[in-house]
A and B are shown apart, each in its own frame.
Chain A
Amino acid sequence: MESAVTEKHRMVDNIAISYTGIFDTEILSVLAKEIEGTLSPDDKVNKKVFKIFIELAQNIAFYSLEREANAEGNDTGVGTMIIRNFDDHYVFSTGNKTTMENIIPVMEKCDNINSMSREKLREYRRLQRNMPAGEKGGGNIGLIQVALTASNPLEYSLIKCPDGTYFYIVSVRIDKE
């Protein structure tokens, strides 16, 4: 079994669904339908991928540095999503532009999440959920939920762009059952 990291260098192989552009509600619902309806013959796996998609796509919508107005004129994040299909698992990845300053806490959060057992993660999620809901989109719980749903670690990488910004990629493996 290969990990998402060793597969990273051949990102273009085995693509089942990919999308690059704005992540507004309309696009989200189209992609969600595609995932729920057609990805795999196993509804339970589709549901897992769907849940992970919603959380990571909403993180792009809220936090991507690259932004565009959608059809209604609302400011929306731009990013990329790729689902790759392997024999016994899928790898779900999203990528978006960011700054070093904004992404360091997110990467620390991923490391923190990866160090926790399922029980600890649930406790952490409860803690975050009890915090006041002032924060944009509640993105803090999203990554915890992704790790819980996938039952696999979050893998991330950062690519420096020529304009001095960074492209942040987060991947997670979803096992077929």
Chain B
Amino acid sequence: MEDIHISGFKDCYIQPTVDFVESTGECAISGESFMEETAKFYWPLVEWVKEYGKKHNKIVFTFSLTYYNTSTSKWLLAILKELREMENEGGEVTVIWHYTPDDTDMNDDIMDYMVDTGLHINMVPFDEP
């Protein structure tokens, strides 16, 4: 499988930056995500994580999104479910989520993701390393 590198841009199409590296198991999605056709963008990412989980047993996944629309939020859940699957199979899964402390919507959202997936998400404020 090949690593995924996508540069985020928001002038015309609003997509996040993606870095999935197979050799280190370090994966990150950052920036903003509110494109209209979320399926086209996220489907390959979900497939990558699923495929990765079959071959490896350790992953560190970092979400650093300052904003995502509700359509994106469905796909983030799909990724988290794949990570949970990997954990259920005995994998060592670390999920880090950067958030803005006064963004109530996002804080609630991360809590809801934990309830939905049973995964532990490490919440780290954006200004901390």
A residues neighboring B (CB under 8 Å):
25-26, 28-29, 32, 44, 47, 50-51, 54-55, 58, 61-62, 122, 125-126, 129-130, 133, 137-138, 141-142, 144-145, 148-149
Contacts and interface: CB of A to CB of B under 8 A. Distances in A.
Contacts of A125: 70, 112
A133 B112 contact: no
A129 B10 contact: no
Contacts of B92: none
A133 B74 CA distance: 7
B70 A25 contact: no
Given A122-B108, A130-B77, A141-B74, A25 B14 contact: yes
A126 B70 contact: no
Interface string B78-98: 100000000000000000000
B36 interface: yes
Given A25-B35, A148-B105, A55 B11 contact: no
Interface string B1-43: 0000000001111100000000000000000001110110000
A135 B12 CA distance: 24
Interface of B: 10-14, 34-36, 38-39, 67, 69-71, 73-75, 77-78, 102-103, 105, 108, 112, 115-116
B36 A55 contact: no
Contacts of B112: 122, 125-126
20 contacts: A25-B14, A25-B36, A29-B12, A32-B14, A47-B103, A54-B34, A122-B108, A122-B112, A125-B112, A126-B115, A129-B77, A130-B77, A133-B78, A137-B36, A137-B71, A138-B70, A138-B74, A141-B71, A144-B70, A145-B70
B87 to A, nearest CB: 18
B105 A61 contact: no
Nearest to B78: A133
B10 A145 contact: no
Which residue, A50, A126, A133, A149, has most C-beta atoms of chain B within 10 A?
A133
Contacts of A137: 36, 38, 71
Contacts of B103: 47
Contact of B70 (A29, A50, A122, A142): A142
